[in-house]
Structure 1
Amino acid sequence: MSSDRPALPPVRLPSDAELARDALVAPLLARAVRLARWAGPDTRVGAGGELIEEQLPAAAEALGLDPDEDGAAYASEAWRVAVDTGLVAVEDPQEDEHGGESGTAEAGDQLALVTGGTPQDVLALWLDALETALADATAPLIDDLADLVGEDGELDLDSLDWDPQHEADFLDGVLGNLYLLTVTEGGSGDAPVPLPALAASMIVPDDMGEPTDDVLEQVSEAMMRLDDQFRVLEPVGLVEYQPVDEALMAEEGEEPAPPADDEDVTRYGMVRLTPLGLYGVRARMLEAGVDAPAVGDLTEKGADALLAGLAHYPEAAARAETHQWLAARGAVPAAAELLAAAKGADAGAPLRRLHCQQALTLVGADAEPAVRQVLDDPELGGLARVWLAERGAADVPAPPEPMVFWLAVDTIAAQLHAVGGGDSEELRELIEGLTSRHGGFFDAAWRVEHPATPEVLEAIGRLHRDKAVAKEARKAAFKSRSRA
């Protein structure tokens, strides 16, 4: 995974204990655990640690499967996971009585972690199992192994049209896109994503209008490869997957074209990351150096880190993060720390104060003593009065006029920062509401001792829908800059 991806929105994950329970019931890891408990002195493995063919029927039966070809395939896959995760320990093969080489296997040290380890231990086991599943998912599809055997009797993998790094990078990109759709507010959330849309997100250029036939063919090929890969990844618990309807293969040929507008898109495959899958993809991103935060990351950090971090969080995630941060502290010390962190004249200070105000709405009335401490502070006094008034507190002093206009400028500056200096309907409504609420707004506003006063007045002049008011705002902005 590329480490130069932009920072992602924070993901909301269940507790480690809940995730560990999900990991232990994932079919692939559960089968690996059962085989590790089944392994004993009579278990024989090949030179690569794989179960010898004669052992596969018994392994399938140990898993409660029929000892047929399918059962043997499931057993072989689970055994490979057991070996790769250390649930099984394999001894070096020795020459057997028939002149061949075979080794033995027994339960490995990691097996004890299944029942005696911490949730983090279990999740580490699952991540190892995930790596094995991902390797299987990106392995080449071989219809006839005999076709790859060279004249010297060795496998000729170079004859395959297969680039392992390209395959791994492509699947990582797909999982990254699926993760982003899940964690981005306004995206798909927990809803499954159509396989054609996911394939197109990797193939179709962003600036392409109508995809060409060549691009559509590439999307179809990618869909079918992803169909195979998600079938492999579902048993490890990474995804929930509804496969491509096999009837489409007969209708359209081996690779059905992407659906037309009037077709049932669910027939072309639907996929979603499970909570465990979100955990797994995030863990791999973090290992690759990608900034992939999770709600709860800021709980142990100070209010300055909380307010700075919330500037990049969607609303629901910001609220959840703040709830966790407050739950770890008492009302009075939490409010005092938030208010202290909200002070400042730097460019980010207005947004910090906005997030401070939003955080304080989640604090109970017990925080009143800390809030009253800042009533006379020129930067926080207006915010404090709003908080007290909303709770019906008694004896809230009326704000002096300079504080009223300072708070109005600060509030608009915060919203401007939040939208990156752009435009939004919410920002327009805020501007129009504040300017209409105060008589002679611009006569007072241009004198406000706030670093963002000129910027705010210019924004009002740009965004206000009343042309006369907008003109008045631009004049006030000129006066403010001249005064500065």
Structure 2
Amino acid sequence: MTGADRPTVPPVRLPADAELARDALASPLLSRAARLARWAGEGVRVGAGGELPAERLEEAAALLGLDADEDGPAHVARAWRLAVGAGLVDVAEDGAENSAEDGTAGTASAGAGLGRLTRGGPADVLEIWRAGLETALADAAVPDLGEPLGTLDRDPEAAADFLDDVLGNLYLLTAGDPAVTAGAMVPLPVLAASMVVPEGMAHPTDAVLKDVSVVMVELDERFRILAPTGVIAYRPVDTALVEEVAAGASDAGDPASDPAEENGEQSGGEDGEEEVARYGMVRLTPLGLYAVRRRMTEAGVAAPLVGDLAEESAEALLTALPGHGEEAARAEIELWLARRALPDAARELLAAARGDDGDAPRRRLACQQALSLVGVEAEPALREVLDDGHLGGLARVWLSERGFRDVPAPSEEMVFWLTVDTLAAQLAAEGGGDGSAELRDLVRGLVDQHSGFFDKAWRVDHPATGEVLEAMSRVHPDRKAAKDARRAAYRARSRG
């Protein structure tokens, strides 16, 4: 698989390994597993599968302060499986001739991993934590749900793949939403809908909404198991709602009646937020982002980190920035600029923004974004390109916004060229279609502000002029203006 063929997800910013390792050590499941490993010491008798016998399970629950918790035995069993799976505990099986009368079949003792965990560096801690996470993911993939609700596959391999997809979607929601990146939580119905509602279905059917509800309940059980690993921060579903879905509720109390509403779009104030939270809220922690990203890269997905471009060329930076969210792009630019002297950095950016290829408009838009973070030291570099047909317009904007004097007014030709270039970049960012509300407002504003806009726009010597005018004909709400845009697009293409 080549780099161009690899699926790509938006970049994320991760803390240093030392901070991630501290989070891993503080996670409830790993800290319990470490305590159990120390408790095992020189030997604890275990069953044929390495599990703790009932009496030792009770002893371990008391050790962890879980003896009064009705779910205490399950928590202990998971922590023990993690300890064994991560190498914190070694299990030596008895030979057939040494089988014990008490039903035990081996001896567990503290493993080499415990020493690495307590005395090793951040890389050791994270490696052990990730090994334990695999055990927890296997537990969470096919939890004991009693009678299945009928939506998710009970085949272990298929269930594990489904959980991977869920975490992948949560990763995308985190990387693509500045609010989630900043620590906001995703309503569980929204995540469930992302797994069930077919792409492009604006109004899910009752059957699809019921499936969303069922998936939401089943994810609730999985996330309760995963939360102690530190991968996610999770607020569980209100148990009353779980009972409603399990009973087949499909009325107004259905948790998935409208995933958009569950995202808070129609709820306001603390009461509305609290009501949304009843349906479950989840987010990946920084440790979770680290883990899911590692799993993605191992599966062949390109999952970049903010800062990966700091040593790359200006062209590589400008090419990649359109795929970044706003916050990630700003951080990437700042890291890139920090390694270069101004105004040389500005000159590199401007040089990389030139071109008539299909990606050039987006590079120029990214260049404007990068230059917005550059100080007045870049003035000489911007003045050098005032007469450049590709860059003169953005240079004038930059200089004028910073209050510099003696900035020559742009010619009408330059204004129209910059307009077409900006619209071409916007169209490329949106990937075609009918256009966003932002694009429609931009098009309408341009036409309203410039008398005879289309009579002049078709003459613009830009490779994307015909494509831009055709798009304007699709998104402008006025029928006459749309017709004028189509005629102008035809004339632009005929001129070439």
TM-score, length of structure 2 as denominator length: 0.78
Tell me, what secondary structure is at the counterpart of 1:272? Answer: strand
Tell me, what secondary structure is at the counterpart of 2:382? Answer: helix
The residue number in structure 2 matching 1:211 is 206
1:178 aligns with 2:170: yes
1:393 aligns with 2:404: yes
Tell me, what secondary structure is at the counterpart of 1:331? Answer: coil
Structure 2 residue aligned with 1:122, among 122, 125, 137?
125
Matched ranges for 1:150-161 at <5 A: none
1:163 aligns with 2:174: no
Cα drift, residue 343 of structure 1: 0.9
CA distance in 2, matches of 1:467, 1:266: 45
1:231 aligns with 2:224: yes
Tell me, what secondary structure is at the counterpart of 1:367? Answer: helix
1:449 aligns with 2:461: yes
The residue number in structure 1 matching 2:86 is 85
Matched ranges for 1:323-402 at <5 A: 323-402=334-413
Matched ranges for 1:11-410 at <5 A: 11-53=12-54, 55-66=56-67, 71-93=72-94, 98=100, 101-109=105-113, 111-118=115-122, 120-139=123-142, 141=144, 162-185=154-177, 190-196=183-189, 198-199=191-192, 201-203=194-196, 205=198, 207=201, 209-212=204-207, 221-247=214-240, 252=244, 255=247, 257=249, 260-261=252-253, 266-410=277-421
Cα drift, residue 115 of structure 1: 4.5
Cα drift, residue 389 of structure 1: 1.7
Cα deviation, 1:280-303, whole Å, max 9, x if unaligned, reads 233222222234444334333222
The answer to whether the 8 A contact 2:185-2:283 is kept is yes
Max radius of gyration: which structure?
A: 1
CA distance in 1, matches of 2:380, 2:119: 49
Cα deviation, 1:380-429, whole Å, max 9, x if unaligned, reads 12222221221122333444554333223222222232233442343344
Root-mean-square deviation over aligned CA pairs: 3.8
Tell me, what secondary structure is at the counterpart of 2:282? Answer: strand
Identity of matched residues, %: 60
User: Could you tell me which amino acid in structure 1 is paired with residue 465 of structure 2?
Assistant: T
The answer to whether the 8 A contact 1:310-1:318 is kept is yes
1:424 aligns with 2:436: yes
Residues 220 and 425 of structure 1: CA distance in aligned 2, closer, same or farther (over 3 Å): closer
Cα drift, residue 195 of structure 1: 4.2
Cα drift, residue 10 of structure 1: 3.4
Tell me, what secondary structure is at the counterpart of 2:170? Answer: helix
CA distance in 2, matches of 1:455, 1:42: 74
Cα deviation, 1:86-126, whole Å, max 9, x if unaligned, reads 233444545659576423422414632444313x4433322
The residue number in structure 1 matching 2:264 is none
CA distance in 2, matches of 1:218, 1:463: 35
Cα drift, residue 133 of structure 1: 0.6
Cα deviation, 1:189-230, whole Å, max 9, x if unaligned, reads 754445455445545556574324xx6775565444333322
CA distance in 1, matches of 2:17, 2:368: 31
CA distance in 2, matches of 1:332, 1:11: 28
CA distance in 2, matches of 1:225, 1:428: 41
The answer to whether the 8 A contact 1:93-1:104 is kept is no
Residues 217 and 312 of structure 1: CA distance in aligned 2, closer, same or farther (over 3 Å): closer
Cα drift, residue 364 of structure 1: 1.2
Tell me, what secondary structure is at the counterpart of 1:376? Answer: coil
Residues 439 and 30 of structure 1: CA distance in aligned 2, closer, same or farther (over 3 Å): same
* More off after superposition, 194-203 vs 375-384: 194-203
Tell me, what secondary structure is at the counterpart of 1:386? Answer: helix
Unaligned runs of 5+ in 2: 147-152, 256-274
CA distance in 1, matches of 2:326, 2:427: 16
Cα deviation, 1:430-459, whole Å, max 9, x if unaligned, reads 345555666765565444332122333444
The residue number in structure 1 matching 2:258 is none
Cα drift, residue 136 of structure 1: 1.2
Cα drift, residue 354 of structure 1: 0.9
CA distance in 2, matches of 1:225, 1:429: 42
* More off after superposition, 175-184 vs 303-312: 175-184
The answer to whether the 8 A contact 1:85-1:129 is kept is yes
* More off after superposition, 109-118 vs 277-286: 109-118
Size of the aligned set, in residue pairs, is 461
CA distance in 2, matches of 1:471, 1:97: 88
Residues 165 and 387 of structure 1: CA distance in aligned 2, closer, same or farther (over 3 Å): same
Residues 111 and 49 of structure 1: CA distance in aligned 2, closer, same or farther (over 3 Å): farther
* More off after superposition, 432-441 vs 380-389: 432-441
CA distance in 1, matches of 2:244, 2:494: 71
Residues 229 and 359 of structure 1: CA distance in aligned 2, closer, same or farther (over 3 Å): same
The residue number in structure 2 matching 1:483 is 495
The answer to whether the 8 A contact 2:178-2:326 is kept is no
The residue number in structure 1 matching 2:426 is 415
Unaligned runs of 5+ in 1: 144-160
The residue number in structure 1 matching 2:266 is none
The answer to whether the 8 A contact 2:399-2:407 is kept is yes
User: Could you tell me which amino acid in structure 1 is paired with residue 169 of structure 2?
Assistant: N
The residue number in structure 1 matching 2:263 is none
The answer to whether the 8 A contact 1:220-1:255 is kept is no
Tell me, what secondary structure is at the counterpart of 1:105? Answer: strand
Cα drift, residue 253 of structure 1: 9.1
